[in-house]
Structure 1
Amino acid sequence: MIKSAQTFSYLFGYLPFAAKNLAKFKKQKDKLSASEYSRLIHSEPQKWAGGIMKRTGSKVTVTGLENLPEGPVLFVSNHEGNFDIPVLLSSIPKPFGFISKKEVNKLPIIPSYMEEMNCVFLDRTDRRSAFKSITDTIDKLKAGHSVLIFPEGTRSKGNGLQEFKSGFMRIAKDAQVPIVPIAIEGTSRIMENNNNRIHSAAVTVQVLEPISTQEFSEAGAKAAQLVRSRIEQALGSLPSN
């Protein structure tokens, strides 16, 4: 209970400071290049996410950062738990937005940052919204922004890798950007496996080698399975598995 209270107190207690900094950042937007502004905006969520993870008492081990290429990429990660986003924001130095359910818009401050981070909001109950989220993500990537997607669509809660929805392949193909697979393990042990109470856990993040546009184009209909199998192989290589 103590870790839960500390984590959620920090999560929402930090927001007024984040709001002030966002106002400062926006004033600098016209003076900075797109990449400079992305790094500036990313610095605040990265700091916030790092503070959250510190208060959970978890240890995050990251490997493969040398695999991060220059330019926009589509990050494709498995989705284990609610702490996947804080873990990845605090661990990946390359600025990125992500696809999020529209309910997040009800939170204070956070949606404003997400818009500046080039996140995409999705209404899962509306097919038109799902289609628009794909086109919006393609546009973000074409504009030079990296985006993270969880093709499982829902959290596995540590119960094994689920099937990947293939829509992300169209996004990468149309945007002509490489895919960077990410294998994340251990986040479900922070919250989901503890009756939603926060416990410390060992978390691993593996940034895998990029898959080029040529490689997944040649894979054709098997491209989604190619990405999934690489993540599955990385997860299977961990000692706990």
Structure 2
Amino acid sequence: MSVGKRKTTVFNSIRTFSFLFGYLPISAINFKKIVKQKPRLSLQEYDQLVHTEPQKWASGIMKRTNSTVTIIGTENLPEGPVLFVSNHEGNFDIPTFLSTIPKPFGFISKKEVNKFPIIPMYMKEMNCVFLDRTDRRSALKSIADTVEKLKKGHSILIFPEGTRSKGDGIGEFKAGFVRIAKDAGVPIVPVAIHGTADIMEKNNNKIMPANVTVQLLNVVGIDELNDIKPKEAIALVHGRIANALATIATKKLTN
């Protein structure tokens, strides 16, 4: 790495992480004002309003990485609650999704995030679900909690690989997401995300600009889910995302 490129990488890292944590106290003031409006708003209105501060925060983070983010397929978003099912490349997946997907959503997160300052306050109002991956009871409870939130009308994002691929292909999907969608009676929106690992994971945790693509794929409706076996549903969603990732990667190589 050249000296100039190394300086740019250090600068990007400092300003990205400075904004990531530095904006939170300022945002928290605005967020508390938003929470006070909850009693007089509908569920949809409140979810949309809650989404504005995390969206600003995430957009500021992505801007400071100097990355280019493209979203495709927003016309595939149905009305009402959905279960977003995505591959998981890196730590910048969530900021990318928050800054690009127009539908408000919560997500399933590991319980360790609860130890961070301020962030759990946002996540609670966003209807996120916390999971202890070392505790089977916690895993079962997280499924039940997610189903409940979806039934109430909130959309949720899940990474069924369970861990980051760090840009090394797409891993196997755990079966829980199929049960969640069926029990809640909501459609699945498969999502392919490509390029976020190039921001940090592939650079020894230093920030570099990347070309990131988010593609919202054709919806898998609840009737279709109920007509096929869970293994077939997993293969359908996994295959749809894998094919999209391959197409995105090919386009990037040829451009």
**Deviation for aligned residue 1:2:** 0.8
Q: Is contact 1:75-1:147 (8 Å) kept?
A: yes
List runs of 5+ in structure 1 lacking aligned partners.
none
Confirm or deny that 1:231 pairs with 2:241.
Answer: yes
1:146 is matched with 155
Q: Is contact 1:72-1:146 (8 Å) kept?
A: yes
2:91 is matched with 82
The secondary structure found in structure 2 opposite 1:237 is helix
RMSD: 0.8
Q: Is contact 1:61-1:203 (8 Å) kept?
A: yes
Runs of 4+ in 1 over 4 A off after TM superposition: none
Cα distance in 1, alignment partners of residues 21 and 170 from structure 2: 31
**Deviation for aligned residue 1:47:** 0.7
Return the letter of the residue paired with 1:191: M
2:41 is matched with 32
**Deviation for aligned residue 1:219:** 2.2
Q: Is contact 1:56-1:198 (8 Å) kept?
A: yes
1:169 is matched with 178
TM-score (norm 2): 0.93
Q: Is contact 1:77-1:148 (8 Å) kept?
A: yes
**Deviation for aligned residue 1:53:** 0.1
Count the aligned residue pairs: 241
Return the letter of the residue paired with 2:168: N
Cα distance in 2, alignment partners of residues 199 and 17 from structure 1: 26
Cα distance in 2, alignment partners of residues 162 and 218 from structure 1: 25
TM-score (norm 1): 0.99
1:103 is matched with 112
Cα distance in 1, alignment partners of residues 52 and 31 from structure 2: 11
Query: Could you say which structure has the larger radius of gyration?
Result: 2
Cα distance in 1, alignment partners of residues 228 and 214 from structure 2: 26
Cα distance in 2, alignment partners of residues 116 and 98 from structure 1: 11
- The percentage of counterpart residues that share the same residue type is 67
Cα distance in 1, alignment partners of residues 160 and 181 from structure 2: 13
Choose which of 57, 62, 66 in structure 1 pairs with 2:75: 66
List runs of 5+ in structure 2 lacking aligned partners.
1-9
**Deviation for aligned residue 1:15:** 0.8
Q: Which moved more, 1:231-240 or 1:167-176?
A: 231-240
1:240 is matched with 252
**Deviation for aligned residue 1:240:** 3.4
The secondary structure found in structure 1 opposite 2:79 is coil
> What pairs up with 1:1-241 in 2 under 5 angstroms?
1-220=10-229, 221-238=231-248, 239-240=251-252
Cα distance in 1, alignment partners of residues 178 and 252 from structure 2: 30
**Deviation for aligned residue 1:21:** 1.0
**Deviation for aligned residue 1:164:** 0.3
